[in-house]
A and B are shown apart, each in its own frame.
Chain A
Amino acid sequence: MARRVGIVGAAVTPFKAKWYEKTYYELAQQATREAVKDAGISINDVDGVFYGIYNDIFERACIPEHPLQGLIGMQNKFGIRISNGGATGAYTMSAAHAYVAAGRFKVALVLGVEKATDCFDFQSMSATPEVIKTIGWSGDSFFEQSIGWTAADSYAEVVLAYKDEHPNDLKPEVTAQISSLLSQQVKTNPYAQRQFDQVTPEEVMNSRMVAWPFKELEICVYSEGAAAVIVAEEETAKAISRNTGQPVVWITGVGESNEHSFAGKNQKVMSRIMSDYYSSHRAYEMAGIEDPAKAIEIVELHDAFVHQLEISCAEFGLVPLGRGDALIEDGLMTPGGRYVVNPCGGLIYSGHAVGASNIMSAWSARNELINRGLKTALVHGTGSTVAQYGACLVFEHD
């Protein structure tokens, strides 16, 4: 029988638009140092490390994790890298959970790091176009890269197909309100890239179109940073908890799904994010959750785009499909509402340091469960073309 696995330590570095002062070596070590300190253990107590690094090009090295093994004190131990597009962090936690649940390790480190904005476009003299170009190498290399595929336009395909089916949902006024709300929530996250970038719905509406239908203030910002989580099997987790005085947050459900990347009959259903549907419902099943709308209290989801946040919540079963706007219109995610959605500010305001992002979300969900005294959270990652990859974890606090 699988062993129970819990989170006993976590840490993040500040997420910044650009870390001139640190390389990804130092960022990775900093998150590791802080995470083992948070767990009150030595790095010598950790049996294996799971690296979440999305993109070789960002780190400017193939197998970018190899220098980290010794730099974080994990020499001569197990180390494996997970790379699953935007869902890298969630998938990395899933992998670590599986190894610990299976009894391979007592304690494991989940370490995500990314240095995206070292990429630089010397034509526009800015980083963003080159970051987008770099991610553009993630599209289908035979049929899509040469016609300008980007992460934004591939997610826009899904959003517009959803709008084809549900023309009255995802109203611009509502997506603007969600972005504005997230910008308020980020104020309490001192590690966020845009902690003090509060915007009004009007400002969101007035921000420039980047890829229709996405406006600049409805899109996550690329970041540099690292995040780390320490997971342990039940007895070890309880012993660590007794030592630190911090409660264990248990990972009670894990689910993953990768869809077709091509469209049409028997392929990807473009108007749905089935990867979110399957991954969340598989996680619910494992956690024994029958009605997520009643059980889930905190959602730390990968908001690559505000519109996708709404669709993802529908796929999670938190609002009906076609009623994503209920998150605002019915007050479900507004202060005092049914759900606490992205209390860290989400990736739109905290920043998206890709391999580290979902691990940062896990760090936030754990903190929020403990600090608010709530019981159940859902942590989510999405990635690849047309939201093809999805991974979800259910966290529970005794």
Chain B
Amino acid sequence: MPVRKGKIIPAQIIPEVGSQMVNVDGKDYMVANDAMYTFYQRSLGEFTPYFLAIRDEKRILGCKCTKCGLVRVPPFLTHCPDCDFAPTQLIEVGQIGVMNSTPPITYFATPLFADMAPFGRGRLVPDGADTAMSINIFTTTGILVPGIVKKGTEMKIVFRDDRIGVASDIFCVPASELTAEQVAKKGLQESEINWEGATEPTLPAASQEQVEAAKKVADKIAGVIDQMNRNKRAKADIAGWKRDIQVRTTGGEFAILINDGDIRVSQQKLSSPDFVMVLHDANVLLAGLSYRGALTDSVIGGKIWLSKNGEFTTIFKLDRMARSLAKSGKTAS
């Protein structure tokens, strides 16, 4: 799980000064690279004790109304709006809790979170609190998929090793994935958990029949990709994008090379691919590229393994190309 470090604005997302011309209906229009940026030394005011407790003491604070007794977490306010603004008091809440409702999972993330996707974000009601706090959700078992965390699932709050006093200093994982000692421990840190590594799955040895079948599917994949490479709309989907992908399937392997609007299949074995895609059945890739089932969903469903989670972005682009090709087919017909 990546955690943001370094510059406030990551260098790789900053464009160069410049402009381009775009032709629309035979007329040229200018498009300028630009940005709005404002830096802050932002006051955290009444939230200071909350963030300090997380950063320095690995504790979670809430606030309790002195009149109605409602415990809100995070401690959003110093006076309760439901009790004619009676004062609240800071109290510590537990580091185990339950999900207030089933949390969503983000697969298509913004540029700031693309390296973290897929991730969950939901509402956890910690022991001793009445309200729910917004918090990231991860699993120790690989990619987060629907069904792992639901309404009422017991979760454990985990502290990042490097904490700077922000909401992302903590996240939670299902308590059922931890040992009893880890669940009981106050201030459990991410480095104390056994995160399953990105181990490339081993494919079974293929029979001659499987090799021949895989070859046929690979030829079909090459055919679809060739169509994509002759389709203006699909080529636009990978404008400015460059990736060398090694694809391993039961029965054979090949490479998909994406280079700024150009996509090709190559039989070469790449020495340093950007990422590796492993699938038992090459038909899954063929179906995805043919717009008969999203590749994204195949990754989520475990039918395709990626060596880098962050390459969901490339998978999205391949899905988009499949849709572009399908749309063009409809338009043509």
Beta-carbon contact of B146 and A213 below 8 Å: yes
> Which of A66-74, A90-98, A245-253, A263-271 contacts its partner?
A263-271
Beta-carbon contact of B102 and A147 below 8 Å: no
| Docked CA distance A148–B135 (Å) | 10
Beta-carbon contact of B125 and A264 below 8 Å: yes
| Docked CA distance A143–B170 (Å) | 11
Beta-carbon contact of B103 and A144 below 8 Å: no
Residues of A near B82 (CB, < 8 A) are 266
B111 at the interface (CB under 8 A from A): yes
A132 at the interface (CB under 8 A from B): yes
A262 at the interface (CB under 8 A from B): yes
Beta-carbon contact of B13 and A123 below 8 Å: yes
B305 at the interface (CB under 8 A from A): no
Q: Contacting B167 at CB < 8 Å: which of A143, A270, A271? A: A143
Beta-carbon contact of A124 and B36 below 8 Å: no
Beta-carbon contact of A143 and B133 below 8 Å: yes
Question: In the complex, which residue of chain A has the Cβ closest to the Cβ of B108?
Answer: A210
Residues of A near B240 (CB, < 8 A) are 125
Min Cβ gap B22→A in Å is 5
Min Cβ gap B303→A in Å is 13
| Docked CA distance A250–B331 (Å) | 41
Question: In the complex, which residue of chain B has the Cβ closest to the Cβ of A62?
Answer: B36
| Docked CA distance A123–B15 (Å) | 9
| Docked CA distance A216–B326 (Å) | 15
| Docked CA distance A309–B293 (Å) | 25
Beta-carbon contact of A265 and B104 below 8 Å: no
0/1 string, A202-219, CB within 8 A of B gives 1: 010011111111011000
Residues of A near B203 (CB, < 8 A) are none
Q: Contacting B293 at CB < 8 Å: which of A123, A153, A206, A213? A: A206
Q: A160-B104, A206-B292 known; A143 and B74 CB under 8 Å? A: yes
Residues of B near A233 (CB, < 8 A) are none
| Docked CA distance A270–B123 (Å) | 10
Q: A60-B34, A209-B297 known; A146 and B121 CB under 8 Å? A: no
Q: A164-B101, A209-B297 known; A263 and B167 CB under 8 Å? A: no
Min Cβ gap B76→A in Å is 7
B107 at the interface (CB under 8 A from A): yes
Residues of B near A129 (CB, < 8 A) are 108-111, 114
Chain A stretch 89-141: residues in CB contact (< 8 A) with chain B? 120-125, 129-130, 132-133, 136, 140
Q: A125-B240, A161-B101, A262-B76 known; A150 and B131 CB under 8 Å? A: no
Min Cβ gap A162→B in Å is 9
> Which of B23-31, B185-193, B204-212 contacts its partner?
B23-31
| Docked CA distance A272–B103 (Å) | 15
Interface, chain B (partner A; CB < 8 A): 4, 12-15, 22, 24, 27, 29, 31, 33-34, 36, 44, 47, 70, 72, 74, 76, 82, 100-114, 116, 119, 121-123, 125, 129-136, 146, 150-151, 166-168, 171, 239-241, 291-297, 300, 313, 316-317, 319, 323, 326-327, 330-331
Interface, chain A (partner B; CB < 8 A): 20-21, 57, 60, 120-125, 129-130, 132-133, 136, 140, 142-144, 146-150, 152-153, 156-157, 160-161, 163-164, 196-198, 203, 206-213, 215-216, 262-267, 270-271
